[in-house]
A and B are shown apart, each in its own frame.
Chain A
């Protein structure tokens, strides 16, 4: 075995420089890949939520890294019917190109009964609860209809598989807001998807909680340690295709966070590409403005999002 002490100083310098290549993004990537592989190793009924936004798209990219170009579990998208049309277009394009096992679900009853905001008869928070939380619960459990892309026709068909997904990989980041900063990488929820924050299991080093009583549902969060800036830096480094709504396309506005059209406002910004977004976040106008400031449901009451999340909001 070679012992490091006899290395010449010049060699050591070259070595150190090479080592610097493992920078903050490499470290984040390695941990996320480890978590994804751990999830795949331990859970049979696994899926990944893909909101089409930048975070879950990075997550999808990391999955392809982890499994060498493959995505060995289905991607689930919850369509609230209020999403900006470009998002759906982009979703289906990548699903076809990357041969994804693509599934979407929706809360048809709430839409039919107009339990929606602002065109219907409920407030913002309730609308989120019906169109996202409820739709998600029912799609995951298999009670609600699932639509699956048929790659030979390129169209969605009703999925015959109604088995519940008990492990769900989610792109939540700790820096998004208070309650997310306290998440675990592997976070159990009870049958009702409720989150008991004070009673979270310990996680040590890279040993996660991977043993569960039957019936437990699990959220897996490989992106907890990433900040919004890290996400964009990584998108830039890896040239990950991103939906164009994030960029200013001539009107001096762009979306910083994507959600439903009625509740997500674009921000004033002239960033036209990934690099300009990175600059804007690093030292420019958004370096000190919270990402979700454009999302209305966070402001409803002091713990609006915490309440939503306790009940199963992603």
Chain B
């Protein structure tokens, strides 16, 4: 085993991702094939083997066959899926992604393009600007790819007439400007003959393609932006007595050091970084953009994956439940109102709904529609989406990683887009829902007063929450027994009965919590309407979740009992029980409160 080697200049190479896009048959695969072969980057014998195979099958040789490796691709002469190829030039390791140009493989193109640092967009000189030239250009801008060079290919077909180049430059340049892309260059090429790819043709005095890609600048400087660490996981591995509780994720932007004050969003919980954890690496005092990291905290906070860790001294991210977004839709079924989708921004996942559509753009011809009520496949929509829980985000122009999003429709990533900003001033879909529900609420002949008179008490939903779920449960059950003894109509619901019953169709994932909470709220509305005292005990709820349950239970009455240490939850609860209260004492406190509120008669011990 050799140990640490001496650092050499070329050890510090840079990894650079490049994508090549454009309309079908305009020559994308040929450009890459030429680039690989003219820089001597192909494995020995590869070119000969492909030529030989073509000869055997009596097919003309194509450089594209170097990449279109799938049988179907070679038979049909098209690129079906993005292929990665690797080559080195200067100080860089390039990964080039060959994106397919067919519209039905658009999602493959997007996959390839989304990870690119720069893009080459190929246009056939003879055919000119086509539907997918524009669509791909637009997608590049939506994906946030700022460095683009346009390659005008097949100059041989227009007899190397540079007027053709100028015409395309004018037309396509104007289009790119409209969508906020400033092309680095327009390079006339003849890919098949390798002109201006690596070797400059005598009729050209500008950059070659190779020169252009080496000129693209390195990744954006992210270290001096505000610190953002989306939390991917909170780990506590207990093997071999490991006591660390590690908050892990990849730093999107900025830097942070041991001892820095940090705030999590959207919960706004505050603490300090206690340590930076590494495995088999030098000790670290600072973490910075691009790194996969882990930290421990000074306080024992309850923070869920999906929150964003930020530095108190930095500008904070925005928080809201309504977002104005620009969305590209790839789903087979359209995006519609009233359907639940999953929203993913950075490491967060939340349920979301389409609230309103402002306008829809057809990215191929740039026509605009203001009257659509749904978002169809390949539409680019400016719309408002709304989620039940608050989400934290940034503007992608400031911080890309926390400003872009995908929408999942059932199991598929169906939409991708960027945040344009928060959207305020509208009734939330939530309030609207409760309003509508109450309008349509069917009541029977019996009034709640009649029920209260018969039962000898008023209805109430008693929700007990705290991190110590066992303790909450015990209190819930003892309270039920106690009230039952006094002849009240009371029912304790074990949350597990929902998990394996009513909520059986809800996946056991963090992002599905909101749905479970919603269902509990709806159920409590029914139970309190029946006149009962309805008790349940649940693990730690955050203040937002408590507010949701309150809203859904209304006009039913609720008493939130908290056993939490968390100051925000405490301030949202109606009664806070002390850690030291024993169970009898806890029940006494709850009953006293019930009697003050005249839910039950005077309570005497």
Of the 9-residue stretches A15-23, A84-92, A113-121, A130-138, which lies at the interface with chain B? A15-23
A41 touches B233 (CB 8 A): yes
Query: A60: CB under 8 A from chain B?
Result: no
CB distance from B423 to the nearest CB of A (A): 22
Tell yes or no: A4 within 8 A of B by CB: yes
Q: Given the complex, which residues of B lie within 8 Å of A289, measured CB to CB?
A: 43-44
A197 to B143, CA, bound (A): 24
Q: How far is the CA of A236 from the CA of B83 in the complex (A)?
A: 28
Q: Is B291 within 8 A of A273, CB to CB? A: no
Residue A150 at the chain B interface, CB threshold 8 Å: no
**Contact of B416 with A202 in the complex, beta carbons under 8 Å:** yes
Chain B contacts of A200 at CB under 8 A? 81, 108, 111
* Chain A 278-293: CB-based contact to B (< 8 A → 1; otherwise 0): 1000100000111001
Interface flags, B296-327, vs A, CB<8A=1, else 0 = 00000000010000000111000000000000
Q: Are A30 and B292 in contact (CB under 8 A)?
A: yes
Residues of the A chain whose Cβ atoms lie less than 8 Å from the Cβ of B237: 67-68, 70, 72
Tell which of B238-246, B358-366, B595-603 binds the partner: B238-246
- Do A241 and B81 contact each other (CB < 8 Å), given the known contacts A41-B233, A288-B44? no
If the complex has contacts A68-B235, A70-B237, are A201 and B3 also in contact, measured as CB distance less than 8 A? no
Once the chains are docked, how many angstroms separate the CA of A42 from the CA of B508?
A: 10
Instruction: Name the contact of B1 in the complex, choosing from A38, A99, A202, A273 (C-beta under 8 A).
Output: A273
Residue of B nearest to A204 (CB): B114
Say whether A205 contacts B114, CB under 8 Å: yes
Is the Cβ of A198 less than 8 Å from the Cβ of B105? yes
> Of the 9-residue stretches B5-13, B208-216, B446-454, B460-468, which lies at the interface with chain A?
B5-13
Q: Contact at A37–B44, with CB atoms within 8 Å?
A: no
The listed residue (A21, A230, A275, A290) touching B2 by CB distance below 8 A is A275
Q: Which of B248-306 contact A (CB under 8 A)?
A: 248-250, 277-281, 288, 290-292, 294, 305
Asked if B86 is an interface residue, CB under 8 A from chain A, the answer is: yes
Do A201 and B11 have beta carbons less than 8 Å apart?
no
A30:B250 contact, CB within 8 angstroms: yes
Residues in chain B near residue A241, CB distance under 8 A = 1
Contacting pair A203 B111 (CB below 8 A): yes
- The answer to whether the Cβ of A191 comes within 8 Å of any Cβ in the partner chain is no
B146 → A minimal CB distance (Å): 15
Q: Is B440 an interface residue when CB atoms closer than 8 A count as contact? A: no
Segment from A45-53, A161-169, A171-179, A258-266 that makes contact with B = A171-179
Given A24-B13, A203-B114, A230-B93, the answer on whether A198 and B81 have CB atoms closer than 8 Å is yes
| A182 with B81: CB separation less than 8 A | yes
- Please name all residues of chain A whose beta carbon is closer than 8 Å to the beta carbon of B401 when the two chains form the complex: 205-206
Q: How far is the CA of A275 from the CA of B11 in the complex (A)?
A: 12
Contact of A239 among B4, B46, B233, B290 (CB under 8 A): B4
Which chain B residue lies CB-closest to A182?
B81
Most buried by A among B67, B69, B401: B69
Which chain B residues border A96 with CB–CB below 8 Å?
A: none
A231 at the interface (CB under 8 A from B): no
Residue of B whose beta carbon sits closest to that of A211: B411
Distance of A225 Cα from B83 Cα, bound (Å): 11
Cα distance A71–B233 in the bound complex, in angstroms = 15
Cβ-defined contact, B80 with A197, below 8 A: yes
- The total of chain A residues at the interface (CB under 8 A) is 78
Separation in Å of the B100 CB from the closest CB of chain A?
Answer: 10
Q: Is A33 a contact partner of B406 (Cβ separation < 8 A)?
A: no
| Chain B, range 397-420, C-beta contacts under 8 Å to A | 401, 404, 406, 408, 410-413, 416
B181 at the interface (CB under 8 A from A): no
Q: Smallest CB–CB gap between A290 and chain B, Å? A: 4
Name the B residues within 8 Å of A30 (CB-CB): 250, 290-292
- For the complex, give the distance between the alpha carbons of A216 and B411 in Å: 11
A interface footprint on B70-84 (CB within 8 Å = 1, 0 otherwise): 111000000011111
Bound-state CA distance A155–B250 (Å) is: 38
Contact mask for chain B residues 40-65; partner A; CB cutoff 8 A; 1 contact, 0 none: 10111010000001000000000000
Chain B residues positioned under 8 Å from A205 (CB to CB): 114-115, 143, 401, 404
Decide if B15 touches A27 in the complex (CB within 8 Å).
Answer: yes
B23 at the interface (CB under 8 A from A): no
Contact of A302 among B46, B53, B413 (CB under 8 A): B53
Of B218-226, B426-434, B529-537, which binds chain A? B218-226
* The 7 residue pairs across chains A and B that have the minimum distance between CB atoms: A178-B69, A33-B292, A24-B15, A4-B224, A202-B107, A290-B43, A174-B84
If A182-B69, A227-B93, A239-B1 are given as contacts, then 19 extra A-B residue pairs at C-beta distance below 8 Å, sorted by A number, are A20-B12, A23-B14, A24-B14, A30-B291, A65-B292, A174-B83, A177-B69, A182-B80, A182-B83, A200-B111, A202-B330, A204-B110, A204-B111, A205-B404, A213-B411, A225-B15, A237-B4, A239-B3, A302-B53
Residue pairs across A and B with Cβ atoms less than 8 A apart, 24 shown, are A3-B224, A22-B290, A26-B290, A27-B15, A30-B290, A41-B232, A65-B281, A99-B239, A174-B83, A198-B72, A201-B412, A204-B110, A204-B114, A206-B401, A207-B406, A209-B411, A211-B410, A211-B411, A216-B411, A224-B84, A238-B280, A273-B1, A288-B40, A303-B71
